[in-house]
Amino acid sequence: MNEPASTAESRLRVLSFESRRAEEMRGLIERHGAIPTVAPSMREIPLEENKQAFAFGEQLLAGKINLLVFMTGVGATALMDILSSRWPLEEILAAMEKCIIVVRGPKPTTVLRNWNLRIDHRAPEPNTWHELLATMTAAVDLAGQTIAIQEYGKPSDDFYLKLNDLGANVLPVPVYRWDLPVDTAPLRAAVEQTILGQFDVILFTSAQQFHNVLIVAEQSGSAKKWLQAANRCVVASIGPTATETLVEGGLSVDSQPTHPKMGPLVRESIESAPAVLKRKTGI
């Protein structure tokens, strides 16, 4: 009788944080001969629960916003999705056209151009809040201005303090599309298992997955240990946006698929894993 092509001891152990397509991801990993662990990391929040975004929309349509700052392309798109669930898109765009529009970098620029929105000012590279503040102060007297700032992720508290010091009225507009799952036990277990060295490959299909994993790791005081342990694995990212977030957060991305889809992500990361693990471990 022939031996099986792979045994449990030799098969790669792959961790995914996929939520909505968790079972599909599990099946993909199994079909490529690896052992899957899927720990859902996100829960979609209904658009109607974005109260601060709707409050911003009311002020925008009432003509009470002087400057409108877009920080990210993903956040700009999410904000428009939220607003257009309550008001006609034409009314929203017309109200935005009455504001001074400032963007932080190329990603929100692309989104706004797709809406045919005029962009008045754009911060230069490296597109941090420092360049954004310099651009704004050079163009406009900010004293007494109401400035709405589209957030996506962590607020820019230092940026807001500087604007307040200049006499501006700052209106942060957080855009939350995803939250932690109701049951975080699988995610907490995955963090601990990573630290214990029980995975070979870690897959990320969105930047938000990384943010949520870090939140859970920080809750147990193990974020630093988790990052160190994850970097001993093959870290695979679905595409450039997720990769940028992972790298900024302290992970070294080893694999990014030729096409930003789950199938190529799983296949290519598993195919490259033996060589990457050999390089990382020296074995």
DSSP 231: T
Per-residue pLDDT at 175 = 83
Q: What is the pLDDT of residue 4?
A: 34
- CATH number (3.40.50.10090, 3.50.40.10, 3.40.640.10, 1.10.3720.10) of 13-44+180-281 reads 3.40.50.10090
Burial status of residue 3 (CB atoms within 10 A of its CB: 0-12, 13-18, 19 or more): exposed
Looking at CATH, the fold of the domain delimited by 47-174 is given as Rossmann fold (3.40.50)
Q: How far apart, in whole angstroms, are the C-alpha atoms of residue 132 and residue 234?
A: 35
The residue ranges of every structural domain in the chain are 13-44+180-281, 47-174
Residues with pLDDT less than 50, the chain: 1-7
- Report the pLDDT value the prediction gives residue 208, as an integer from 0 to 100: 87
Query: Does the pTM exceed 0.75?
Result: no
Taking residue 243's Cβ as centre, other Cβ atoms within 10 Å add up to: 19
Residue environment code for 43-55, b if the CB has 16+ CB neighbours within 10 A, otherwise e: eeeebeebeebbe
What count of residues does the chain have? Answer: 283
Residue 125: the pLDDT is 83
Q: Do domains 13-44+180-281 and 47-174 have the same CATH topology?
A: yes
Reading the block at residue 191, the tokens are 């963090």
123: helix, strand or coil: coil
Predicted local confidence at residue 241, as pLDDT: 76
* Residue 193: closest CA among 235, 225, 236: 225
Q: Nearest-5° angle of CA 236, CA 213, CA 51?
A: 120
- d(CA 65, CA 95) in angstroms, rounded, equals 9
